[in-house]
Amino acid sequence: MESFFIAVVSMAVVLGFMILIHEFGHYAVAKAFGVRVLTFSIGFGKRLWGFRRGDTDYRISALPLGGYVKMAGENPLEARTGEPDEFMSHPRWQRFVIAIAGPAMNILLAVGLLTIVFMMHYERPEFFDQPAVIGWVQDDSPALQAGIQQGDRIVRIDGEHNPSWEDVLLKLIESPNQPVSLALQRGNEILEKHVKPEPGISDDFGNVGWEPQQTITVAELEPNMPAIKSGLEVNDRIVAIDGKPIQARLAIRHYLQQTRGKPVDVTVIRNGKELHFTMTPVHKEESGQNGYWLGFLMSGPSTRVAKLSFPKALSQSLEENKRYSLLIVDLVRKMLEHQASIKQMEGPIGIARATGEAARQPGWTPLMGLTAMISLNLGIFNLLPIPILDGGMILLLLIESTIRRDISVRIKERIYQTAFVFLILFAAVVIYNDLMKALPGLGQRMP
C-alpha cells in the first residue's frame, strides 16, 4: 500500500510540475504579446479550486491528465470580436511563438534538470562508451541464428559506423521484429549480417540475445560453498572456465548449468598472476532460480561516477537530450510505418511505477533524472503535427503562411474533430497496454 501511495503522489508531483512549466510557456509568451488569457488550468474538466486575477482564472481542475491555457479568440470555431487582445488578432509569427513556447519549456526543463543531476551525481556504465565487442551469445537467440559469435566487434549498425555499446543498445530497443543490418569484424574479416531483435514479453523492446564484453570480478563469496573452499578470493578476475574464455556474466551461469555438477577448472587473474582452481558446482536455489552454482557473486558493470562542472554538465545534458530526442522521433516514425509497437510507450500506470521506483531511491537525482526524460518526451510529443496538440497548431500556421490566407473554419472544424477522436483512441490503447503490463494475467482472463 505504501508503494502504491508513493507511486501515485510522485507521479502527481512530477506530471503536475511538467504541465505547469508547459502551460506557463504558453501563458508567459501570450502575455508578453498582449494576448488576453482567460484561463490557466492544471487538469481538465470541473474547476476544483482557484482564484482570479485580472482577466485570468487560475485553477486546478478535476482530471489531472494535462492542462491548458485558454486565450481570448483562440478557438477558431468560436465567434470573435476582432479585439486587438484576441489570439487570432495577432500576426501568425506571434501565434507560432506562443504555440511552440510550451514544448520549448519542457525541452529546456529536461536540459536544465539533467544539467543539475550531472553536477550533483554523474554516473555512467563504462561499457556504454566502449567499442561494441560481443562477450557472449545466448543459445537459440536471434544473434546465434544470425551467425554472430563471441569476440565479434560491431563496426556498423544500420548505417552508423564504429558505434559504442550505447549506440547499439538504443538501436535495438527501437527495432523489435525489424531486421537490423550489421557489419562485424572477426579477425581480419568484415562480415555482413542481419539480426532480427525479438520483442520483450512486457515492453516490446528489441532484444537479440547477446551480452557486451565485460570484465568479470568476484565481488562476494558465500560461506561453505565450492568457490570459497577452493581458495577463490574477492577481487579475483575470472578469465576462463575449463579453458574457455569468459567475457560476460551470463556466460558463467550458462556454462555451469551445462556441467550438471561436474568439476570445473576456473582460471583467474590475481595481482597479475594466473591461477587455477578446481571446484564442483552444487545444485541449489539461488536468487529464486534452481541450478548449479559455485557460490560467488560477480560485480556489476563498472561505472564512472563524478560531479561534473557546469560547462561539462550542460554539454553532456545537451548531448543526452539530443540523442534521446532523435530516438523518440525515430520510434514515432517506426510506429507509423508499423515497424515498432505502441507497447513501447508508457501510460499513466507505467509512469507511476517508474516515478515511484525513482522516489524510493536515496537522494533526489534519480527522480530528477526521470523527470527530465519524461519532460523531454512530453515536449517532443506535443510537437507532433496533430491538431489539438501544439504541433498541429504550428502545422496549420505554416500552411496558412504558405497559402497566404486562413484555412476555412469548416475545414478546421473537421480537422479538430478527427484529431480529437484519434487522441481519445490513442489514449485508450496506451492505457490498455499499461494494464496488460501491470496485470499480465488480465489478458488471458478477458474474453
User: Which pLDDT score, from 0 to 100, does residue 427 have?
Assistant: 73
Average pLDDT for runs of 10 along the chain of length 447 = 72 82 92 92 86 90 79 75 85 92 94 93 85 89 90 91 89 80 92 84 68 89 91 92 89 87 92 92 78 85 84 93 86 74 68 78 83 90 84 88 82 78 75 65 43
3-state secondary structure of 182: strand
Report phi then psi at 22, rounded to 5.
Answer: -60, -50
Please answer whether residues 125 and 303 qualify as being in contact, where contact means their C-beta atoms are separated by less than 8 angstroms. Answer: yes
Please answer whether residues 43 and 65 qualify as being in contact, where contact means their C-beta atoms are separated by less than 8 angstroms. Answer: yes
> Alpha helix locations (H) across 232-360?
249-259, 310-336, 348-360
Rg of the Cα atoms in the chain: 27
- In 3D space, the residue among 407, 398, 389 whose CA is nearest the CA of residue 93 turns out to be 398
Cell numbers for 73: 479568440
3-state secondary structure of 186: strand
- pLDDT tens profile 143-195: 999 999 999 999 999 888 999 998 888 888 777 778 889 999 998 999 999 98
Residues 6+ apart with CB under 8 A from 416: 77, 387, 388
Q: Rounded distance, CA 413 to CA 51, Å?
A: 32
Residues comprising the chain, all counted: 447
Enumerate domains of the chain plus CATH numbers.
2-119+356-445 (no CATH), 128-211 (2.30.42.10), 216-299 (2.30.42.10)
